């Protein structure tokens, strides 16, 4: 059961039926959706809208979007994102969905489409695909000298994060949890200073060795 908490005016909370085991949609076995299903009439009290993500807390598994078509914020629970192979949405993403009135406000019951072209928060879950199949240890011979870097973002549970150079270069540097462990570290926190050796990954720089400063 998702704990209830007080929210700011205009925001509801996940209903008690929206837990981990909640259905994520009626997709076909291969994960696709038929046009007939997508265009089906909404049920009683349901409405198709287009809105923009206001925020999403990936740890708690829910967030809110806003739309000119309805009053107040619309709750988006991670369970309705599963058929899109997602557990969260970045701020600014445009979402087409079917919503219904619940006890404490509107809630998305089904997400029809997601447009990330207007997102204003980095979509780290998608950026990780650039390096997730690369073994950093295999690139040690190609890496440069140690450089001073700082942690931009890291999620130990997801097993990856990003660093940035201290010289002002804003380009993200992918770092995998295994690389962190080889450096004798168990976790990283934002703004933590490190020394790192980088090599070119498939779509950008990749940290292949890190050590504490």
Please give the Cα distance from 79 to 111 (Å, whole number). 10
What mean pLDDT is reported for the chain? 77
Q: What's the whole-number mean pLDDT along residues 50-64?
A: 89
pLDDT surpasses 70 at 34: no
pLDDT surpasses 90 at 7: no
Question: DSSP readout, 24-43?
Answer: -----TTS---HHHHTPPP-
What is the number of helices (H) and of strands (E) in the chain?
3, 10
Q: What is the pLDDT of residues 160-209, one digit of tens each?
A: 899 999 988 888 999 988 889 889 998 999 999 999 998 887 778 889 99
Torsion, Cα of 134, 139, 144, 148 (10° steps): 50
Lowest-pLDDT choice from 36-40, 48-52, 80-84, 139-143: 36-40
pLDDT recorded at residue 121: 54
Q: What is the pLDDT of residues 124-168, one digit of tens each?
A: 545 544 444 566 767 778 888 999 999 998 887 778 899 999 988
pLDDT recorded at residue 12: 52
pLDDT recorded at residue 120: 75
pLDDT surpasses 70 at 82: yes
Q: What is the pLDDT of residues 118-129, one digit of tens each?
A: 887 555 545 544
pLDDT surpasses 70 at 9: no
């Amino acid at each position: 059961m998702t704990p209830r908490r007080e929210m700011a005016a205009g925001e509801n909370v996940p209903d008690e039926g929206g837990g981990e085991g909640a259905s994520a949609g009626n997709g076909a076995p291969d994960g696709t959706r038929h046009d007939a299903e997508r265009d089906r009439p909404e049920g009683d009290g349901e409405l198709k809208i287009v809105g923009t993500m206001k925020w999403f807390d990936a740890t708690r598994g829910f967030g809110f979007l806003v739309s000119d078509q309805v009053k107040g914020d619309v709750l988006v629970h991670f369970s309705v994102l599963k058929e899109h192979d997602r557990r969260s949405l970045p701020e600014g993403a445009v979402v087409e969905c079917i919503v219904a009135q619940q006890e404490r406000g509107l809630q998305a019951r089904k997400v029809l489409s997601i447009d990330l072209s207007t997102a204003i928060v980095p979509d780290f879950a998608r950026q990780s695909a650039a390096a997730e199949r690369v073994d950093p240890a295999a690139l040690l011979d190609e890496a440069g000298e140690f450089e001073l870097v700082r942690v931009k973002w890291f999620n130990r549970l997801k097993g990856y994060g990003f660093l940035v150079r201290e010289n002002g270069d804003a380009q993200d540097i992918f770092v995998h949890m295994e690389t962190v462990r080889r450096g004798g570290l168990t976790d990283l926190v934002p703004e933590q200073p490190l020394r790192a050796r980088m090599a070119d990954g498939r779509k950008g720089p990749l940290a292949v060795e890190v050590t504490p400063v």
